[in-house]
């Protein structure tokens, strides 16, 4: 069909007319020269490099659906009588914000779909930012020169959380009011200034009439504006730094191996937008989210079982739920540790730790070089272990945040979950750290084993004297290269206590701490096979067959021993079959 | 017709059809000729109470005491509370929903298939009611919500959110209470039992006496619960109606799961696709 001359000339005409438009624009705007370099920008291919893209496209969807919602939503606390389509609430008095959200859901064509897409998209936005951050963390992509971009990303995550919270607080339904009450509680718990902050933010007593309109401005103008600016900065820095890549043949710290933005990544990224949009639309259409008509209008006298924030605030909720009820009374003022510690300090500690992590690691390891090659998590065991410990703590707080749902669904005691979590939050992350670190080191050992002795073929050979051995075959050179090209880290050594003239070196304390931490960080790393070891292994592999033919292997059939001894003995498929068993 | 039947009599399914037919006939004959249910109305109250007491002594006295005075264990725990003055409504609720008799001592009596039939429940209720004054089994006019107006339902929803959602959840699907106790789901519960529960406050539930919630308001609450049961799920799958926890779970599993799979697919296809050589 495409070979018919008519079709060909038609396609030619189309491409000529497209070219004409582009040329016309280029002659007037000069974009060709401007974008020529950027359009040839190379990106490496890996699925995990596309996680941040989910967040980007979710943000676009949020802007589109949010604009739609803003056409009908009325951010007002004025009391109205609801007379819309939803019979169960008709005739009740409620705020205009809640009534307009009901109208959006039931009386605006496509309104409920847009509302649900907006909400699902927000959930996906934050979830994809989170997994993107985890990818960056576990592969070491935050290292120099990308520390600032890491911090920008963190700011995006933090603002995203605030934006999400503001979003689900706007409809003024029962759940959003309950959430706002908790937020006000956090404000009040701040010593000395807490009550002033609360009165300032809410324009008087909670809940008041001012807050929803104020929150609306924050939600549709302030935070999205900052998000947009930071996303731009994030991506400009990405272009400036160039994308990191996993090590492999031909990939060095000084190049980027991949395909150009135009046309390959334009197509891939453009296509991915439609996939993200499609999944979001599917969820918005099929899965109910935030059914505000079920919650009812906010009334401070009401609360519902299953009052939880959206998932990204769930860990803070968990902290609040498992915190013992500690309070101190000082000169007639109450210090609410029970809210201050899990609500305010926990949030601050997590984000401070995350923000400064690149600098902490850099100081400990003394590594001041630029890194454009990613590390496999196993090759940075201590970092990976810290990451997993952090994820574990986060997950435990999540579980604690849903303790009533868990108790109900699994027939557990609410109190038991709380008590277990109070201990687990201190113990389990430490266990996770130890296990992960050992696990990584074992994987390193395994890599070394595979490089030196080849992979296990699953073929078992019985030697003439009756012992068994598994045949190992050498791995292919590309794989071997990938497994051996990571850096061999060395701990920072303590500078000599005395210089050549016997003068004691000044200020040893900090250096000693650093050296000790650095040893903790790296000292257990399994060393990569050296050239000599590789050659010895290769030599051994070619000569190994003698061991079997001579019958010198242990007669008892020590498979583990033999497995290494005879690794890769037989090159062809005719292994061992032609050997005649020796008479006993 | 006969020819048709005779040709198919060796069909593999013929045996089943005959069996089914025989069962239907036997069942039909039984239901047509079985003895009529004993008529309760003819019995005097005293008779009902006496029979109820007999049932009570067999099924209930081991925990509630021979005279329904309750049993306190040596440790001061309440094995079974006194039943004097709880009224017929409490008996009807607990026994008709299968909560009583309990299968074993537990933090809470779960709903289960009932042990006593209606006549037996009536006897037990009559016996307990005879011990002291208490709320009676309500007449249908109190809980019949078939003709509830929209306004009544909307008001009932307001009372439901104020008084019930804190434990039973906004959609009435239940929620957890301390120490392994729970507020059960309200879906599928008979209106009379909801009414009796409000009136008598079984287990953890507070009593909503007629001074707190008037009978009319109670009926509104029941009507609202019934509309929740029948209501269209406007937003799609309800994900258990447990609020944001379920939503987060779906967002992370279905949403992020699907998108990560898509990312893997995109990254593995296109110009750089390296097909494994055979």
> Tens digit of pLDDT for each residue in A23-64?
888 888 887 777 788 888 888 889 999 999 999 999 999 999
pLDDT score recorded for residue B187:
93
pLDDT number for residue B31? 80
Among A103, A112, A294, A478, most B C-beta atoms within 10 A, so best to mutate, is A294
Contact B70, B82 (CB under 8 A): yes
Q: What is the pLDDT of residue A524?
A: 87
DSSP code of residue B237: B
State the average pLDDT over residues A449-462: 91
Query: d(Cα A574, Cα A569) in Å, to the nearest integer?
Result: 11
Q: What is the arithmetic mean of pLDDT over B129-158? A: 91
Residue B244 in tokens: 């944001």
Quick: pLDDT tens for B22-43. Answer: 999 988 888 877 765 555 555 6
Summary count for chain A: helices (H), strands (E): 22, 8
- CB proximity A299 to B under 8 Å: yes
Mean pLDDT of A191-216: 93
Mean pLDDT value across residues B11-22: 87
Q: Which residues of B176-213 are buried (b: 16+ CB within 10 A; e: fewer)?
A: bbeebbbbbbbeebebbbbbbbbbbbbeebeebeeeeb
CA distances from A339 to A182, A414, B268 (A): 9, 20, 48
- The position carrying tokens 């453009």 is A270
Which value, to the nearest 10 degrees, does the dihedral of the CA atoms of residues A416, A421, A427, A431 take?
Answer: 100
Q: Is the pLDDT of residue B130 over 50?
A: yes
Question: Given this model, what pLDDT does residue B248 score?
Answer: 95
Between residues A542 and A240, the one the model is more confident about: A240
pLDDT at A274: 97
Q: Which residue has the higher pLDDT, B141 or A56?
A: A56
- Dist CA A75 CA A109 (whole Å): 20
Please state the rounded mean pLDDT for residues A129-139.
Answer: 97
Q: Among A174, A271, A287, whose Cβ lies nearest the Cβ of B266?
A: A271
Integer CA distances (angstroms), A20 to A16, A27, A142, A293, B156, in order: 6, 10, 44, 54, 68
Closest listed residue to residue B18, CA positions, set B7, B6, B9? B9
**pLDDT at residue A45 in the model:** 87
Average pLDDT score over residue span A300-311: 91
Residues of A in contact with B241 (CB under 8 A): 291, 294
Here the tokens at position B39 are: 């008529």
Highest mean pLDDT among A553-562, A568-577, B107-116: B107-116
Q: What percent of chain A has pLDDT over 70?
A: 90
Q: Does A571 have pLDDT greater than 50?
A: no
A236 has a pLDDT exceeding 60: yes
Looking at the DSSP bridge assignments, the partners of residue A260 are A42
What are the tokens at A342? 């899990």
Q: Which residues contact B180 (CB under 8 A, 6 or more apart)?
A: A407, A411, A412, A413, A414, A415, A416, B107, B108
Say how far apart CA A65 and CA B217 lie, in whole Å.
Answer: 41
* pLDDT tens figures, A515-539: 889 989 988 888 888 888 888 888 8
B12-47 b/e with 16+ CB inside 10 Å = b? eeeeeeeeeeeeeeeeeeeeeeeeeeeeeeebeeee
**Residue A264, pLDDT above cutoff 60:** yes
Structure tokens at B67: 């005279």
Chain A, 90 to 129: residues with Cβ < 8 Å from chain B are 90-92, 105-106, 112, 116, 120, 123-124, 127-128
How far apart, in whole angstroms, are the C-alpha atoms of residue B250 and residue B264?
A: 20
Report the DSSP pairing between strands B71-72 and B182-183.
unpaired
pLDDT band at B44 (very low <50, low <70, confident <90, very high): confident
pLDDT of A494 higher than 70? yes
Residue B15: the pLDDT is 85
Closest C-alpha to A48, from A125, A138, A143, A155: A138
Backbone phi, psi, residue B35, to 5°? -65, 145
Q: With an 8 Å Cβ cutoff, are A407 and B180 in contact?
A: yes
* pLDDT given for residue A502 in this prediction: 76
* A577: confidence class by pLDDT, cuts 50, 70, 90: very low
Query: Strand runs (DSSP E) across A363-431, as ranges?
Result: none
How crowded is residue A87: how many other Cβ atoms within 10 Å of its Cβ?
Answer: 15
Q: Does A275 touch chain B (CB under 8 A)?
A: yes
In chain B, residues with a C-beta closer than 8 Å to the C-beta of A127 are 251-252, 255-256
* DSSP, residue by residue, A134-189: HHHHHTTTTSTT-HHHHHHHHHHHHHHHHHHHHHHHTT-BHHHHHHHHHHHHHHHH
Mean pLDDT of B67-71: 90
Which pLDDT score is estimated for A530? 86
Q: How many Å apart are CA A153 and CA A164, to the nearest integer?
A: 16
Q: In which region does residue A558 sit, left (phi positive, over 0), alpha (psi from -120 to 50) or beta (all else)?
A: beta
Which pLDDT belongs to residue A333? Answer: 86
Q: What percent of chain A has pLDDT over 90?
A: 62
For helices B256-268 and A51-70, angle between their N-to-C axes, nearest 10 degrees? 130
Q: Where are the CATH 1.20.810.10 domain residues in chain A?
A: 40-74+92-375
Distance CA(A512)–CA(A496), nearest Å, equals 11
Q: Does A274 touch chain B (CB under 8 A)?
A: no
| Of the listed ranges A246-250, A489-493, B261-265, the one predicted with least confidence | A489-493
CATH of domain B45-131: 1.10.760.10
Yes or no: say if A266 and A63 are a contact pair by the CB < 8 Å rule. Answer: no
- What phi and psi, each to the nearest 5 degrees, are found at residue A471? -80, 130
The pLDDT tens digits for A401-432 are 999 999 999 989 999 999 999 999 999 999 99
Instruction: Tell me how long chain B is.
Output: 278
Is pLDDT at A16 greater than 50 in this prediction? yes
Kindly list the residues from chain A whose CB atom is less than 8 angstroms away from the CB atom of residue B272. 45, 259
Among the four given CATH numbers 3.90.1150.10, 2.60.120.650, 1.10.760.10, 3.40.190.10, the one describing domain B140-230: 1.10.760.10
Residues of chain B positioned with their CB less than 8 A from the CB of A91: 150-151, 154
In chain B, domain spans = 45-131, 140-230
- A584 has pLDDT over 60: no
| Residue A376 or residue A557, greater confidence | A376
**Would you mind telling me the total number of residues written for chain A in this entry?**
584
Judged by CB atoms within 8 Å, which residues 157-186 of A form the interface with B?
174-175
Express each pLDDT in A78-104 by its tens digit.
999 999 999 999 999 999 999 999 999
The answer to whether domain B45-131 and domain B140-230 are alike in fold is yes
Q: What mean pLDDT comes out for the span B250-267? A: 95
CA dist., res. A272 & res. A57, Å (int): 8
- Taking only residues 336 to 395 of chain A, the set having a beta carbon closer than 8 angstroms to any beta carbon of chain B reads none
Q: What is the pLDDT of residue A8?
A: 54
Looking at domain A40-74+92-375, its CATH class is: mainly alpha
Share the mean pLDDT of chain A: 87
Per the CB < 8 Å rule, is B171 touching A412? Answer: no
Contact check, Cβ <8 Å, B176/A45: no
Query: Would the pLDDT of B235 be above 80?
Result: yes
Distance CA A174, CA A184 (A): 15
Does residue A318 register a pLDDT over 90?
yes
Indicate the pLDDT class of residue A491, thresholds 50, 70 and 90. Answer: confident
Beta strand B78-80 with B175-176 is unpaired
pLDDT at A572: 36
């Amino acid at each position: 069909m495409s070979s018919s001359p008519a079709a060909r000339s038609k396609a030619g005409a189309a491409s000529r007319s497209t070219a004409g438009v582009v040329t016309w624009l280029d002659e007037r705007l000069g974009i060709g020269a401007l974008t020529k370099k950027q359009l040839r920008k190379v990106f490496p291919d890996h699925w995990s490099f596309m996680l941040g893209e989910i967040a980007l496209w979710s943000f676009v969807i949020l802007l589109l659906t949010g604009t739609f919602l803003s056409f009908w939503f009325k951010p007002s606390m004025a009391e109205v009588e609801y007379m819309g389509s939803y019979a169960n609430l008709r005739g009740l008095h409620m705020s205009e914000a809640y009534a307009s959200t009901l109208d959006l859901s039931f009386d605006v064509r496509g309104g409920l779909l847009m509302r649900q897409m907006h909400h699902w998209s927000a959930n996906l936005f934050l979830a994809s930012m989170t997994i993107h951050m985890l990818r960056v963390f576990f592969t070491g992509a935050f290292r120099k020169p990308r520390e600032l971009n890491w911090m920008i990303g963190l700011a995006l995550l933090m603002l995203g959380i605030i934006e999400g919270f503001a979003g689900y607080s706007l409809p003024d339904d029962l759940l959003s009011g309950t959430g706002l009450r908790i937020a006000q509680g956090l404000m009040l718990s701040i010593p000395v200034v807490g009550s002033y902050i609360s009165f300032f933010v809410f324009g008087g007593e909670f809940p008041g009439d001012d807050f929803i309109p104020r929150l609306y401005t924050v939600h549709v103008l302030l935070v999205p504006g900052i998000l947009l600016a930071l996303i731009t900065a994030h991506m400009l820095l990405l272009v400036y730094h160039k994308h990191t890549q996993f090590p492999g043949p031909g990939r060095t710290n000084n190049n980027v191996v991949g395909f150009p933005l135009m046309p390959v990544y334009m197509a891939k990224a453009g296509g991915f937008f439609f996939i993200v949009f499609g999944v979001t639309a599917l969820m918005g259409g099929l899965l109910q989210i935030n059914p505000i008509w079920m919650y009812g209008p906010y009334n401070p006298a009401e609360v519902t079982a299953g009052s939880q924030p959206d998932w990204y605030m769930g860990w803070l909720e968990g902290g609040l739920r498992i915190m013992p009820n500690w309070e101190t009374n000082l000169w007639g003022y109450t210090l609410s540790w029970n809210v201050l510690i899990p609500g305010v300090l926990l949030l601050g500690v997590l984000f401070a730790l995350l923000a400064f992590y690149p600098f902490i690691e850099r100081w400990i390891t003394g590594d001041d070089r630029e890194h454009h090659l990613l590390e496999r998590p196993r090759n940075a065991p201590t970092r990976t272990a810290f990451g997993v410990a952090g994820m574990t703590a986060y997950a435990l707080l999540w579980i604690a945040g849903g303790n009533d749902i868990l108790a109900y669904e699994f027939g557990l005691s609410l109190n038991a979950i709380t008590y277990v979590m109070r201990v687990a939050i201190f113990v389990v992350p430490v266990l996770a750290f130890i296990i992960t670190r050992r696990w990584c080191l074992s994987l390193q050992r395994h890599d070394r084993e595979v490089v030196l002795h080849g992979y296990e073929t699953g073929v078992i050979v019985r030697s003439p004297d009756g012992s068994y051995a598994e045949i190992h075959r050498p791995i292919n050179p590309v794989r071997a290269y990938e497994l051996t090209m990571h850096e061999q880290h060395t701990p920072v050594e303590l500078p000599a206590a005395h210089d050549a003239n016997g003068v004691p070196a000044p200020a040893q304390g900090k250096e000693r701490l650093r050296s000790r931490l650095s040893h903790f960080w790296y000292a257990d790393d399994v060393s990569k096979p050296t050239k000599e070891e590789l050659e010895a292994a290769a030599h051994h592999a070619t000569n190994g067959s003698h061991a079997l033919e001579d019958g010198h292997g242990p007669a008892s059939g020590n498979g583990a021993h033999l497995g290494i001894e005879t690794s890769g003995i037989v090159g062809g498929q005719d292994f061992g079959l032609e050997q005649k068993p020796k008479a006993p | 017709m006969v020819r048709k039947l005779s040709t198919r009599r060796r069909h593999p399914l013929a045996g089943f059809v005959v069996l089914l037919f025989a069962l239907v006939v036997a069942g039909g004959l039984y239901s047509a000729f079985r003895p009529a249910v004993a008529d309760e109305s003819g019995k005097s109250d005293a008779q009902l109470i006496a029979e109820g007491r007999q049932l009570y002594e067999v099924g209930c006295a081991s925990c509630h005491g021979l005279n329904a005075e309750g049993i306190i264990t040596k440790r001061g725990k309440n094995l079974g509370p006194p039943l004097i003055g709880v009224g017929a409504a409490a008996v009807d609720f607990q026994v008709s929903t299968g909560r009583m008799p309990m299968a074993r001592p537990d933090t809470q009596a779960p709903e289960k298939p009932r042990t006593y039939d209606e006549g037996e429940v009536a006897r037990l209720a009559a016996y307990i009611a005879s011990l002291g004054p208490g709320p009676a089994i309500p007449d249908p006019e109190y809980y019949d919500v078939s003709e509830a107006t929209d306004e009544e339902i909307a008001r009932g929803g307001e009372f439901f959110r104020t008084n019930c959602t804190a434990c039973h959840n906004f959609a009435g699907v239940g929620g957890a209470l301390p120490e392994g106790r729970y507020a059960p789901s309200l879906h599928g519960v008979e209106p009379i039992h909801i009414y009796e529960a409000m009136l008598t406050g079984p287990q953890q539930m507070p009593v909503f006496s007629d001074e707190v919630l008037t009978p009319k308001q109670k009926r509104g609450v029941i009507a609202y619960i019934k509309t929740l049961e029948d209501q269209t799920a406007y937003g799609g799958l309800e994900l258990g109606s447990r609020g944001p926890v379920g939503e987060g779970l779906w967002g992370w599993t279905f949403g992020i799961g699907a998108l990560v799979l898509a990312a893997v697919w995109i990254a593995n296809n296109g110009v750089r696709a390296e097909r494994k050589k055979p």
